[in-house]
Amino acid sequence: MPFSEKVAEGVRAGDPDAVGTVYVVLADRLLGYLMARVRDRATAEDLLEATFLELLQRGRTIRGGPAAIKVWLFRAAHFNALDHMRKVRRRAEDLCEDPHSLEVVDTGPGPEERAVSGDVSRRVRAAMKQLSDDQRQVLLLRYVGGLTAPETADVLSKTDGAVRSLQHRGERGLAHLLENEHGTAASSPQAETS
């Protein structure tokens, strides 16, 4: 379990200390997941704050222990990100603009990004975009969010079997896309050297 049953009880009782403890344990994973969804770090951080405030205010409605709270948080984050993307699209439609131009993409490398070549990051993100929405969601929740298959199924309101199938197809699709991309890059005169 990510945190104890006692902390889970505190969350259900609206105790800010308990919510803070859950924050300490899960904030990094939630932020990674949100950033993968909305790409803009400032927006992801705001959504993270909003998600934990919701937990403080609505924790008493959660039935279950630590695992249920973890699922609840990722579901809340998932829908907060969805709402944000819808707002961006609506704003873009109103302004007749490209939705992506309204996002400020986080290009500043954090300590993690410095460890990963920018080109690798760009290729992986481009490949992920080519997967279906469902496949991408499952991969992000499983690998970035750290959820199990049943937990992911709860967040996305799908069956375990559907999640596993989406996961495997997503993994194969991603590997295939990166292989093709690598093959293309390797044959180009400006092949990346590590």
Partner 1 sequence: MDAEDRPKHMMPHDDELDSATAELLRRVYARHIDIDTAARHLWVIDAAARTARQARHTMRGARGRGRRAVVSLMMSLMLIGSSGMAVAASDGTLPGDSLYGVKRSTERIKLVLAVRADADAQMQLDIARQRWAEAQRAARDRPEVVSSLLRDTFQALDAAEANGGVIARHAHALRLVVAEGSTELALGQRDRRGRPEADARRGPSASSAGTPPTSPPADGTDGEGEPPAAATDEEETAAAAPPPPPRESTSPPPPATSTSPASTETSTAEVDADPDEENVDETSEEESAGPDGGDGTEKKPGPGTDPDDGDEGVSKESLDPHGNRSPEPEPSPSPSSPEPQ
Judge whether 153 and 159 are in contact, CB under 8 Å.
yes
Judge whether 91 and 113 are in contact, CB under 8 Å.
no
> From the CB of 165, what's the least distance to partner 1, in Å?
12
Applying the rule CB under 8 A, the residues between 34 and 53 that interact with partner 1 are 35-36, 41, 44-45, 48-49, 52-53
Assess 1 for contact with partner 1 (CB under 8 A). yes
Given the rule CB under 8 A, which of 82-90, 92-100, 113-121, 180-188 is the region that contacts partner 1?
Answer: 113-121
Assess 17 for contact with partner 1 (CB under 8 A). yes
Rounded-to-integer distance, Cα 49 and Cα 55, Å: 10
Assess 148 for contact with partner 1 (CB under 8 A). yes
Rounded to the nearest 10°, the torsion over CA 57, 79, 32, 89 is -130
> From the CB of 93, what's the least distance to partner 1, in Å?
28
Judge whether 37 and 140 are in contact, CB under 8 Å.
yes
Judge whether 145 and 120 are in contact, CB under 8 Å.
no
Alpha-carbon torsion 65, 67, 69, 72, what sign? negative
Assess 56 for contact with partner 1 (CB under 8 A). yes
**Other CB atoms within 10 A of residue 28 CB:** 12
> From the CB of 95, what's the least distance to partner 1, in Å?
29
Binding site for partner 1 (CB under 8 A): 1-4, 14-17, 19-21, 23-25, 27-29, 31-33, 35-36, 41, 44-45, 48-49, 52-53, 56-57, 110-112, 115-116, 120-121, 124-125, 139-140, 142-149, 164, 167, 171, 174-175, 178, 194
